[in-house]
Amino acid sequence: MDANTVFKGLEGVIVSETKVGFVDGEAGRLVYRGFNIEELVQHSSYEEVSFLLINGHLPTASELKSYRDVIMKSSSLPSEVIDLIWAHSNKYPTSLLRTAVSLLGANDTRADHITDSDQKEIGVELVGKVPALVSSIRRAAEGGKYVKPSPDLSLAGNMLYQSTGKKPDKSSERIMDVCLMLHADHGSNASTFSSLVTISSLSDIYSALTSAIGTLKGPLHGGANEMALKLIMEVGKPENVEEVIGGKLEKKEKIMGFGHRVYKVYDPRARILKGFAREVTARNGKGQLFDTAQKIEDVMISKLGTKGIFPNVDFYSGMVYDSLGFHPDMFTSLFAASRTSGWVARSLEYVSDNKLFRPRSSYVGERGPLAYIPIEKRN
Ligand code: SDX
């Protein structure tokens, strides 16, 4: 390796040290501040997990109460953002979410000359605000009126309540809470990295999250969950899988919801989501959807398992979100609602021992120097 070696996509390059979370791609292990994700899903809640990621320890009862109070207060949206969402209710949800976060920043004078304490204060507010934005975007798209959060519901419960105007049943609230915990943080993924690049210039955390949402939107990253469910629906039934998936692979098309830059084994989040997907599709009479997904998994692992291609978080999440009444074009915004905790935690951590990101690129163009050619002499 010499000074001009290019690491395309920064593959394998370590850009920072972190204590927030760890992804063990060989063992298929996901850790938040030392806790295995399975342990947290079994015993914790998204509010607790969000506090853990940002503050580095599980909250005491009083810490959790004050944290929840801030989140609850923040999840009531300002009128200018409500007006924006309802005026643009037909826009693509992730684009509208990106715009709404940006408007929040434009309207917050703290963001203009940001201090370290403001960054954290705004970051925790956004943990409550972004899910409320996502729910309101769904509510507006479905023709409903704005719903204020209910103080007797969890953040997960309010996501469903502010989306539909109806208080959710316990099982739906639990499923929403688990989805939020599973998507909260995941190492130096593309959207987290873009938030670090933004905050490393000492810009404000609204800008960092606007960058992150824009990055998450791409189909190779957070946009895959929406496309994975559309693919499963397009295949339709197990007997179609060999032909459809085989055909796509022959054309070297990427199958959404499979493969990962770090996991070369089954994504532990996909394992948990698969269990919920099996349960909710059976309950909702959509068993064939799950059977088709299972068959796609079998075919993909048989063909590409030896290359380390397995289901990732995005393959089964769509069926679960669909069971909660979310339209597929809402799925990436749901991902953003949860990943706000990871983006905030890692942005605050990075900027506390900051170094502006400024990588190099290897110039392979014309060395010159070339003489200028007047326009009349150019052909
Ligand atoms: C997320 O980084 C994170 O942590 C992200 C995330 C998070 O929580 O933040 O986990 C969330 O973004 C999950 C990934 C969601 N994206 C998708 O499901 C889109 C489909 N997946 C692929 O685009 C791909 O797997 C990536 C982008 C996710 C990772 O690809 P890499 O590491 O850049 O690897 P690669 O594209 O160079 O592929 C290596 C080989 C290639 O074959 P060869 O050229 O060597 O013959 O594997 C093949 C690829 O063609 N391959 C696939 C495939 N993924 C990789 N072939 C078919 N279908 C796929 N999905």
- Written as one string, the DSSP assignment of 8-72 is GGGTT------SSEEEETTTTEEEETTEEHHHHHHH--HHHHHHHHHHSSPPPHHHHHHHHHHHH
pLDDT at position 3 over 90: no
Q: Which residue among 300, 309, 331 has the greatest number of ligand 1 atoms within 8 angstroms of its CB, and so is best to mutate? A: 309
The catalytic residue among 177, 183, 186, 260 is 260
Q: Where are the alpha helices (DSSP H) in the chain?
A: 37-43, 46-55, 61-74, 79-87, 93-106, 116-141, 155-164, 170-182, 190-199, 205-216, 224-235, 241-250, 268-283, 287-304, 313-323, 331-351
For residues 299 and 297, give the distance between their C-alpha atoms in angstroms, rounded to a whole number: 6
Banded pLDDT at 128 (limits 50, 70, 90): very high
Rounded to the nearest angstrom, the distance between the alpha carbon of 257 and the centre of ligand 1 is 8
Contact 15, 193 (CB under 8 A): yes
For residues 149 and 137, give the distance between their C-alpha atoms in angstroms, rounded to a whole number: 14
Vertex 340, ends 335 and 343: CA angle to 5°? 115
Banded pLDDT at 65 (limits 50, 70, 90): very high
Tens-place pLDDT, residues 169-215: 999 999 999 999 999 999 999 999 999 999 999 999 999 999 999 99
For residue 236, the 8-state DSSP code is: -
Q: Which residue has the tokens 């120097």?
A: 369
pLDDT at position 137 over 70: yes
In the residue annotation, 260 being an active-site residue is answered as yes
Q: Is the CB of 186 under 6 A from ligand 1?
A: yes
Q: How many CB atoms lie within 10 A of CB 26?
A: 10
Q: Is the CB of 307 under 6 A from ligand 1?
A: yes
Cα-based torsion angle of the residue sequence 70, 55, 52, 182 in order, rounded to the nearest 10 degrees: 80
Q: Is the CB of 176 under 6 A from ligand 1?
A: no
Nearest by Cα to 308 from 265, 350, 341, 344? 265
**Is there a common fold for 16-218+329-351 and 224-323?**
no
Banded pLDDT at 250 (limits 50, 70, 90): very high
Q: So what's the pLDDT on residue 141?
A: 98
Q: So what's the pLDDT on residue 1?
A: 66
Rounded to the nearest angstrom, the distance between the alpha carbon of 304 and the centre of ligand 1 is 12
Rounded to the nearest angstrom, the distance between the alpha carbon of 258 and the centre of ligand 1 is 7
Q: Ligand 1, closest atom to CA 312? A: 13
For residues 85 and 134, give the distance between their C-alpha atoms in angstroms, rounded to a whole number: 10
Rounded to the nearest angstrom, the distance between the alpha carbon of 12 and the centre of ligand 1 is 14
Q: So what's the pLDDT on residue 232?
A: 97
The catalytic residue among 185, 186, 204, 221 is 221
For residue 146, the 8-state DSSP code is: P
Q: Is the CB of 254 under 6 A from ligand 1?
A: yes
Residue 47, φ and ψ in degrees, nearest 5: -60, -45
pLDDT at position 2 over 90: no
In the residue annotation, 267 being an active-site residue is answered as no
Q: How many CB atoms lie within 10 A of CB 57?
A: 10
Rounded to the nearest angstrom, the distance between the alpha carbon of 287 and the centre of ligand 1 is 27
Q: Which two tokens stand for residue 285?
A: 């009479």
List, in sequence order, every residue forming a beta bridge with 31; answer none if it has no partner: 22, 36
For residues 278 and 320, give the distance between their C-alpha atoms in angstroms, rounded to a whole number: 9
Calculate the CA 34 to chain-centre distance: 21
pLDDT at position 148 over 80: yes
Kindly report the protein residue whose alpha carbon is nearest to atom 45 of ligand 1. Answer: 307
Q: Alpha carbon of 166 to those of 144, 169, 172, 281, 283: distances in Å?
A: 11, 9, 12, 22, 20
Contact 76, 132 (CB under 8 A): yes
Domain ranges, ordered by start, for the chain: 16-218+329-351, 224-323
Rounded to the nearest angstrom, the distance between the alpha carbon of 261 and the centre of ligand 1 is 6
Check whether domain 224-323 has CATH 1.10.230.10, yes or no: yes
Cα-based torsion angle of the residue sequence 73, 176, 318, 273 in order, rounded to the nearest 10 degrees: 140
Instruction: State pTM to two decimals.
Output: 0.96
Q: Is the CB of 187 under 6 A from ligand 1?
A: yes
Q: Is the CB of 257 under 6 A from ligand 1?
A: yes
In the residue annotation, 186 being an active-site residue is answered as no
Mean pLDDT in residue range 73-88: 97
Q: Is the CB of 104 under 6 A from ligand 1?
A: no
CATH class (in words) of the domain with range 16-218+329-351: mainly alpha
Rounded to the nearest angstrom, the distance between the alpha carbon of 162 and the centre of ligand 1 is 34
Q: Which residue among 32, 186, 258 has the greatest number of ligand 1 atoms within 8 angstroms of its CB, and so is best to mutate? A: 258
Q: Is the CB of 300 under 6 A from ligand 1?
A: no
Q: Is the CB of 312 under 6 A from ligand 1?
A: yes
